[in-house]
Homo-oligomer: A and B are copies of this chain.
């Protein structure tokens, strides 16, 4: 039995017409010989409406009731999709999370999937059912209460089903037609990638490319689920969208796969911090407690027992970070001369698994930025990524320059 998982997001099932269009795609895959597990989101806007009602009813809500209310949108689309498929003579039925059952832990509103026993759905496939339409985003706790998986939960549901049923592929239908070398809105040479490695997608996802939720990519990587991102608003074809896969499945690839950016960054520098063992913990402990998401960290060379410590965080957390540092200074936990906040910076990164085996990527990147007159303020690197903090006004220029210098407009 060849099982394919197809996931349709909220915009892809926003109206009865769109549900009908999505059903046609499912019918094509059934005609291609697949048994299909369809994961559906709620009609776009519905979940937000329900969340709004919950917040208005009870600002500090019981997450178990939140989940019971908010999960109902997916049940509606699952039933409607099954009905639409039946109208097209495709044997289908809907499944709510508790019916599968999709078992989760009890962390309501951000539950983790623990198990998806495939027996019930497989038994129906054996009886001749072709499509199982599953309400995404929801599961059942050990206590028998409805749980939801948190933001991006339907992507995660889809990947988890693909893993549990050893699906040939997991197709994520959305409103963009794939993963690009960079954001086409700021670089008109941006090119859609046919394939991208899990590790690259993870870096791009966490760097702000909003196509796939980080969690679903992690899960796909762990269980080696072939993940395809494609648009529900374009013609179907075998090479549509972008395949996110194991790096062994990518024959040729550019050294750099893509350029990512993050606009709303801030750089903060503590001037002349007393440099002693444990000083990093004394600084970053209070920041973590204050809910500041520290990203890049750079410590200057120490002189006379004092040093400068620079870090970046989202720009809307600057006030919180400043307060946390002031309190730590007042409490005698740290001592510094001055805290300088620069709220006009952006982060630009190049990502690519080819960087593991190619030297000189960093030098090439710095050269390209320098020849455009872009000053680099902070640098961090990982095995497959180099990120720099620059003045925000140069962000688009930098993205374009890097896209050019690594020739990302050309396929490998």
Contact = CB atoms under 8 A, between A and B. Distances in A.
Interface of A: 16, 19-20, 50, 53-54, 56-58, 61-62, 64-66, 68-69, 72-73, 75-76, 78-80, 82-84, 86-87, 93-94, 96, 98-99, 144-146
B94 A65 contact: yes
Nearest to A74: B72
24 contacts: A16-B56, A20-B57, A53-B80, A54-B79, A54-B80, A54-B83, A57-B83, A61-B83, A61-B86, A62-B82, A62-B93, A64-B93, A65-B80, A65-B86, A65-B93, A68-B75, A68-B78, A68-B79, A68-B82, A68-B96, A69-B76, A69-B80, A72-B72, A99-B145
Q: Which of A61, A68, A73, A98 has the most chain B CB within a 10 Å cutoff? A: A68
A62 B50 contact: no
Given A53-B16, A58-B83, A87-B58, A94 B68 contact: yes
Contacts of A84: 57-58
Copy count, this protein chain: 2
Nearest to A69: B79
Q: Which of A53, A61, A65, A73 has the most chain B CB within a 10 Å cutoff? A: A65
A65 B83 contact: yes
Given A57-B84, A58-B84, 11 more contacts: A20-B57, A57-B83, A58-B86, A62-B93, A65-B86, A66-B83, A69-B75, A69-B79, A69-B83, A96-B146, A99-B145
Contacts of A58: 83-84, 86-87
Nearest to A43: B53
B99 A144 contact: yes
B75 A72 contact: yes
Nearest to A99: B144
A362 to B, nearest CB: 53
Contacts of A78: 68
